[in-house]
Chains A and B, each alone.
Chain A
Amino acid sequence: MAVCVAVIAKENYPLYIRSVPTENELKFHYMVHTSLDVVDEKISAMGKALVDQRELYLGLLYPTEDYKVYGYVTNSRVKFVMVVDSSNTALRDNEIRSMFRKLHSSYTDVMCNPFYNPGDRIQSRAFDSMVTSMMIQVC
C-alpha cells in the first residue's frame, strides 16, 4: 500500500501527485522531487548499457529511514514515483511491479480520453479512484 503516488511528465513537472497523510504533504512532494535525480541517472545508465534488456520498472530508487521510493518510466518518458512505508515489509517486488502496471494502464486510458489535453494536470475521477485503491486506508 502506497503512501504517496506521483505522475511526472517528460519535462519533469508533476501531472498528478497525491499523498495519504494529508498533514506534512510538503515532505512527500520534496521526496518525489529529489527522487527525480535518481530516475534521470538510471535512465541515462540504461541508455549506455550494452544489454538488450531495457526495463520500464526502475526498482528501488532510494531508501530513507521511514520510507522507500520506487520508480517506473514509460516509453514516453513519463515517470511514476511511488513512496511506500518502510515498516510494511510484506510488500514484495512483484506487488510493486503490478501496482506500476495498473498505474501505467490507467495513465494510458487518461491519455486516450478526448477531453484530456496532454500536458495538463490529471483530473480524471477514474484515475483518482484507481490510485485510492492503491493507497493506505487511513480512517
Chain B
Amino acid sequence: MRARSAGRSLGAGGRRMADAVLFEFLHTEMVAELWAHDPDSGPGGQNMSLSVLEGMGFRVGQALGERLSRETLAYREELDILKFLCKDLWMAVFQKQMDSLRTNHQGTYVLQDNSFPLLIRMASGLQYLEEAPKFLAFTCGLLRGTLCTLGVKSLVTASVAALPACKFQVVIQKS
C-alpha cells in the first residue's frame, strides 16, 4: 500500500497493478506465518494469531487514515466518515470501491464487498469457508485503525456467507 503519489509519478497503470499483487502476496504470507507457529494448539492459539493480525491492520489503518484524509475537507458527521472508508480507503488499498453500505442509523453499519480482492483468488462459493475468517482479520483491523484516527471508536467484525463476498460490521462505541 504505497501512497498514491508514488504510483502517479511513474505512470499510473503498470505501477498500481504491481502494488496490488505485492500486497496480496505479503498478506497471504503474513497469515501463513502466523498460523505456522501454532499447529496443534486449540482455539486459544488461533485467537492470539487473529488478534496479532488485527493489531497489524490497526496500526496500518491509523497511518493510512492520517495520509488519505490529508487533502479532504473536515468531515461533518459519521456517515461522511463511513463513506470515506467505502470509497477512498477501499480504492487506495484494493483498487475498487465497497459495493454497499447499510446502516440502522443507531451506530451500526454493514459494509458489503461482493468480490473482496483478498478472497477472490481462493474460491467462488462455499469451498474453504472455514479458512476465510483469518484472511479478513487484517482488514478488520485496518477499518478500526482508520476510524480511530478519524476520532471514532468502533468494533469491527467480518463474516463470510459465500466466497468471495464478505460483510464487515462496524459498531460505533459511544463513550
A residues near B (Cβ < 8 Å) are 10, 46-47, 53-56, 73-77, 104-105, 107-108, 111-112, 114, 118
Chain B facing A: main interface SS: loop
**Complex: A127 Cα to B74 Cα, angstroms:** 24
Q: Point out residues on B near A: beta carbons under 8 Å.
A: 59, 62-63, 65-67, 69-70, 72-76, 149-151
23 contacts between A and B (CB under 8 A): A10-B151, A47-B76, A53-B73, A54-B76, A55-B73, A56-B73, A73-B74, A74-B69, A75-B70, A75-B74, A75-B150, A76-B65, A76-B69, A76-B151, A77-B151, A104-B70, A105-B70, A108-B70, A111-B63, A111-B67, A112-B66, A112-B67, A114-B59
Given contacts A111-B62, A111-B66, A111-B67, contact A54 B151 (CB under 8 A): no
Q: How far is the CA of A47 from the CA of B80 in the complex (A)?
A: 13
**Which residue from A10, A55, A111 sits with its C-beta under 8 Å from B74?**
A55
With A47-B76, A54-B74 as given contacts, are A75 and B67 in contact (CB-CB < 8 Å)?
no
* A75-B150, A76-B150, A76-B151 known; A108-B66 Cβ under 8 A: yes
Query: Closest CB-CB distance, B19 to chain A, in whole Å?
Result: 16
Q: Is the CB of A46 within 8 A of B62?
A: no
Tell me how far the C-beta of A35 lies from the nearest C-beta in chain B, rounded to whole angstroms. 19
Across-interface contacts of B75 in A (CB, < 8 A)? 75
Residues of A within 8 A of B70 (CB): 74-75, 104-105, 108
Tell me which residues across on chain B come within 8 A of A46, comparing CB atoms.
74
Taking A75-B150, A77-B151, A108-B70 as given, write out 13 further A-B residue pairs in contact, using a Cβ cutoff of 8 Å, ordered by the A residue number: A46-B74, A55-B74, A56-B73, A75-B70, A75-B72, A76-B69, A76-B151, A104-B70, A107-B66, A111-B66, A112-B63, A114-B59, A118-B62
Q: Write out the residue numbers on chain A whose beta carbons fall within 8 Å of the beta carbon of B73.
A: 53-56
Smallest Cβ-Cβ distance to B77: which chain A residue: A47
Taken together as a complex, chains A and B put the C-alpha atoms of A55 and B72 apart, in Å, by 9
Q: Which residues of B contact A56 (CB under 8 A)?
A: 73-74
The 5 nearest A-B residue pairs measured at CB: A54-B74, A75-B69, A111-B66, A112-B63, A76-B149
Report the separation of the CA atoms of residues A104 and B63 in the bound assembly, to the nearest whole angstrom.
13
Which residues from B are CB-within-8-Å of A73?
74
| Docked pose: A47 CA to B63 CA in angstroms | 25
**In the complex where A55-B74, A56-B73, A56-B74 touch, is A108 in contact with B67 (Cβ < 8 A)?**
yes
List B contacts of A114 (CB < 8 A): 59
**Contact residues in B for A77 (Cβ distance below 8 Å):** 151
